[in-house]
Structure 1
């Protein structure tokens, strides 16, 4: 009985986790920039997603739905996407998360390409670090 409940719970969590990505691509079709950070003692990942229409969303944990937290001007959004699209993520092999890590991810409809870094001694191109910092500054102060 306990085993059945555990299996059912896991399946439900997986269904909702996958469903939120599908609904995100339906609600905000086209390209999106996902970015954030994670790791540490809890291993929690905080994900932000910027859509081309300037909506900034937050997802703090697996299974949680995205919620809108800010609206970015059209000019600022266009500038960030232009800078982001100049980075050739297809040809950057950067998957070096450390205990604490940062990431950038290109989401296009249902496809994605992600880079992550944070491991000591790993060199990250300056353009990536600066863009990530600029994206993190979009987050409203609490």
Structure 2
């Protein structure tokens, strides 16, 4: 019984931007005249965070969670496709990006340069990640 309670506590762990698990996925878009970015961070447990500002700046705020199974499925796709373990640095004036942080390694893809076409699996993965954002944004706010 005690083991079951411990398992439930571990499986329900929530994180903060200052206390993150070893693996987390960042994605978003930015650039243009203002140079502003919108960056999302998805954790394997379905927690989502967002920050807006100049690249790498701004305060993280938590969004509604998405289904844990959907988040895990996205992580599995990333882990099983070697394409995502190769850095792509082809940003344009307007650009899209994904970064997977895994332990001490970081894999980054950024694209948007004219004349550069990212692999279809990269675009599909990004689309699936953004679908999770739209799902979270359509939920009523239950975090209060």
Return the TM-score normalized by structure 2. Answer: 0.73
Q: Does 1:54 align with 2:46?
A: yes
- 1:93 is displaced (CA, Å) by 4.0
Q: Does 1:122 align with 2:102?
A: no
Q: Does 1:42 align with 2:34?
A: yes
Distance 1:113-1:58 versus aligned 2 partners, 3 A rule: same
Separation in 1 of the partners of 2:117 and 2:98?
15
- 1:111 is displaced (CA, Å) by 4.1
Distance 1:100-1:63 versus aligned 2 partners, 3 A rule: closer
User: What corresponds to 1:80 in structure 2?
Assistant: 74
User: What corresponds to 1:33 in structure 2?
Assistant: 25
Select 1:103's aligned residue among 79, 97, 104: 97
Separation in 2 of the partners of 1:96 and 1:45?
16
Any idea what SS the aligned residue of 1:64 has?
coil
- 1:110 is displaced (CA, Å) by 5.2
- Contact kept, 8 Å, 2:50 with 2:63, in 1: the verdict is yes
Any idea what SS the aligned residue of 1:37 has?
strand
- 1:29 is displaced (CA, Å) by 1.2
Structure 1, unaligned runs of 5 or more = 1-22
- Contact kept, 8 Å, 2:87 with 2:108, in 1: the verdict is no
Aligned pair count reads 118
- Over aligned residues, Cα RMSD in angstroms? 2.0
Q: Does 1:70 align with 2:61?
A: no
Any idea what SS the aligned residue of 1:70 has?
coil
Structure with more contact order per residue of length (Cα contacts < 8 Å, sep ≥ 6): 1
Name the structure with the higher helix share. 1
The Cα offsets for residues 80-101 of structure 1, whole Å up to 9 and x where unpaired, read as: 11112123233x2410001100
